[in-house]
A = this chain, B = another copy of it.
Amino acid sequence: MKSAISQATIGRLALYFRLFKSLYENGVQIISSEDLGKKLDITPVQIRKDLAIFGQFGMKGVGYFTAEMVSKIGNILGLNNHWNMAIVGVGHLGGALANYKNFEENGFKLAALFDKDIRIIGSTVHGIQISDIRNLKSVVKNRSIHIGIITVPALAAQDIANMLVDAGVKGIWNFAPTKIDVPAEIPLVNEDLAMDLSILSYHISRDRGEI
């Protein structure tokens, strides 16, 4: 990737974006980095450092203007663009993601589905016909797919990633529980749902008095 900003920083920006948006929608016009820090449990220094990477935001001694931050962070995160997505592997998880409601609200549009199973090729999920994976390259080009979502078994994931890169996608979201390699210029996000469960297990352990 050309940018030196890490995924951790971008993840925090997405958190800031959601909080600024919620504050704005609730009529809060301005907030200090101290109050942001309390709400998010991130140190104010970390918040100011993260935001300073992208320019001069807020007013010293006053705070950040929520309307301005929603617009500016939205621009930084590319949430004001329109993204076409393709899901490769229409099994349980692929089918679930195809039906996931929150994507379109945030500018992410499902534009193609692929599978290799002739029993489901041609059938329709969420209004999109499932294409034969052998036509991946032409469909990705014709429908201007930006983001490829990998929901195939682990053993097939690397081959699919190679096909998506070859077809010209700009980024990959990998749900297969395995490490895949892509060229440095292709952004890759690996989803690990098991990580989120550790937040629950922590709290349950505490509440049970086990630690």
A-side residues, CB < 8 A to B, are 1-3, 5-11, 13-15, 17-18, 40-43, 45-46, 49, 75-79, 81, 83, 91-93, 95-103, 105-108, 146-147, 154, 170-173, 177, 185, 187, 189, 191-208, 210-211
Contact = CB atoms under 8 A, between A and B. Distances in A.
B192 A102 contact: yes
A44 B116 CA distance: 47
A9 to B, nearest CB: 6
Contact of A199 (B7, B43, B193, B204): B7
A68 B201 CA distance: 20
Contacts of A45: 43, 45
A170 B208 contact: yes
Given A43-B46, A45-B43, A198-B10, A205 B78 contact: yes
Nearest to A206: B3
Contacts of A83: 197, 201, 204
Contacts of A43: 43, 45-46, 49
Contacts of A95: 92, 96
Contacts of A198: 10, 13-14, 17, 77-79, 106
A33 to B, nearest CB: 14
A9 B206 CA distance: 14
21 contacts: A8-B15, A8-B42, A10-B199, A13-B202, A14-B198, A42-B46, A78-B210, A78-B211, A79-B198, A81-B201, A92-B95, A93-B99, A102-B193, A105-B194, A108-B194, A147-B200, A170-B208, A171-B200, A171-B203, A173-B197, A189-B197
A4 to B, nearest CB: 10
The winner among A14, A177, A200 for most chain B CB atoms within 10 A is A200
A76 B202 contact: yes
